[in-house]
Structure 1
């Protein structure tokens, strides 16, 4: 009799071990499916309707997409995204890698420097945009400071110059994100076996060659992860631009996320805003999927 009770308790314990984790995880999974994939499908449906202030569910085809692609502001926003996204990702990766290599030399006060470099990431993009807006304002920031020091011919009016304003967004974005990229690269550098580097040094390789030929190529997974994160930040950038330039002057720093928000919520064009959201999703997929496929393919070959 005790053996039967023991066997029953054992079966019950195994059942609990199998079922309980699924019960615990199920609400989160359901919420994720509904709040992400469910609303993605809902947005895709709205993009095929004539929804204005309120949703309409009668499909009318690709009318909203035709209107979107004939909108000059949309193409200006996409052009700005290309400039901002390309420069933001490149310089964030470059600065982050350089900082990581610098800290990897086992310098003194590494902990303090690492904290300083990481600090900008602790700020919200609203704070970053506001701070850089003050610093780049010709009447308040850097230009006025240089004039006060006697450099009366110094000018730095990028933030009010339509041809240069997008680059101020790049500067602020790189300042905030490069420390986070540094942390990713530094973790990757610290994970490389020192024996490989010592063996290269024994063979006569100098430090720049070791980093160029051995260390940096081994950081490919880190490059991939950092690129994915930075591309995501670039495509959804909204608060940084609104705080720094308010999408101006004119449309000089307008981005698709701002277009989507203003048309979908402020101008009662819900269908057009949904269409722009779907194009943003497709843009993100067009960037991420090829890199993901390439990375998975290289891993299978490895």
Structure 2
């Protein structure tokens, strides 16, 4: 009996060992491909980002420490460009306008976006149509938005003229040509453009909340406003973080909207750092001063980004 089994066992073992030897090189090739293929695919993107993002940031920082005029001058001269920048009244006007525009823009976009999202979350009729209407302004460029609102707010063509034609002859809305209020017209146009996008973010966050939590609160006798104030809105903290980060980025780099709507005027009353940087770098031939203003814009972005990232990371570690 044993003499009959041993040959069969030997043959079976030998037959199973041959495929393992043939598959070993294929396994090594597959492991190498799995290891290096993602790196090869991602390497062009990483290289381009390093050169055209971080490389040019470093170049701008270097130029801000030089005496560059029309053409770059790579000889370091210190921080006198920053000293000249902080001594210009126009820079402080632009920085103040950025503070006004950024704070109001972010505040109103968050408030209106959250309010519209809560309304749409009530399972109302024609939700899809309303959502599309709210999101439509985001499909437009800031140039188109600025041009449209420039016509709407023009005292001789838009809203004020329409009200006068309807018989409201004492109605005035001349913010576009009033140096004290021109920056607020930029806020109006920016909020109109971006609040629908914020609404979409909040609506996605609302739809991701477990309904059982809300139903349990309703069983306990909590009213709908209390549920949203105590349960729903605190649960949207990650959405608030994302929306705040995006809106702050839009506000700080705002250029096309201001140029299309007011061009920084009347005078420099609605000037912002992005316009200041562009004009001093390319129109006035002071490349070093423009680079210094660009680095200050970057510092503003980092001043907003770093605390937000720290708070969000800290909250995630604490389980909130």
Tell me what 1:187 maps to: 204
Instruction: For 2:177 and 2:142, locate their aligned partners in 1 and report how far apart those are by CA, in whole Å.
Output: 20
For 1:26-54, what per-residue CA distance to the aligned partner results, in whole angstroms no more than 9, with x for missing partners? 01111011111111100000000001111
For 1:195-219, what per-residue CA distance to the aligned partner results, in whole angstroms no more than 9, with x for missing partners? 0000000110000000000000110
For 1:56-89, what per-residue CA distance to the aligned partner results, in whole angstroms no more than 9, with x for missing partners? 1110000100000001100000000000000000
- Correspondent of 1:144 among 150, 161, 165: 161
Tell me what 1:83 maps to: 100
Tell me what 1:255 maps to: 272
Equivalent position SS for 1:296: helix
Tell me what 1:210 maps to: 227
For 1:235-268, what per-residue CA distance to the aligned partner results, in whole angstroms no more than 9, with x for missing partners? 0000000000110011111000000000011111
- Correspondent of 1:35 among 22, 37, 52: 52
TM-score using structure 1 length = 0.99
- Correspondent of 1:8 among 25, 29, 32: 25
Aligned residues: 302
Matched, 1:227 2:258: no
Deviation of 1:3 after TM superposition, in Å, equals 3.5
Deviation of 1:2 after TM superposition, in Å, equals 4.9
Tell me what 1:68 maps to: 85
Instruction: For 2:305 and 2:49, locate their aligned partners in 1 and report how far apart those are by CA, in whole Å.
Output: 20
Instruction: For 1:252 and 1:210, locate their aligned partners in 2 and report how far apart those are by CA, in whole Å.
Output: 44
- Correspondent of 2:192 among 153, 159, 175: 175
- Correspondent of 2:131 among 101, 108, 114: 114
**Bigger radius of gyration:** 2
Instruction: For 2:118 and 2:20, locate their aligned partners in 1 and report how far apart those are by CA, in whole Å.
Output: 63
Matched, 1:123 2:159: no
Runs of at least 4 residues off by over 4 Å: none
Which runs of 5 or more residues in structure 2 are unaligned?
A: 1-17
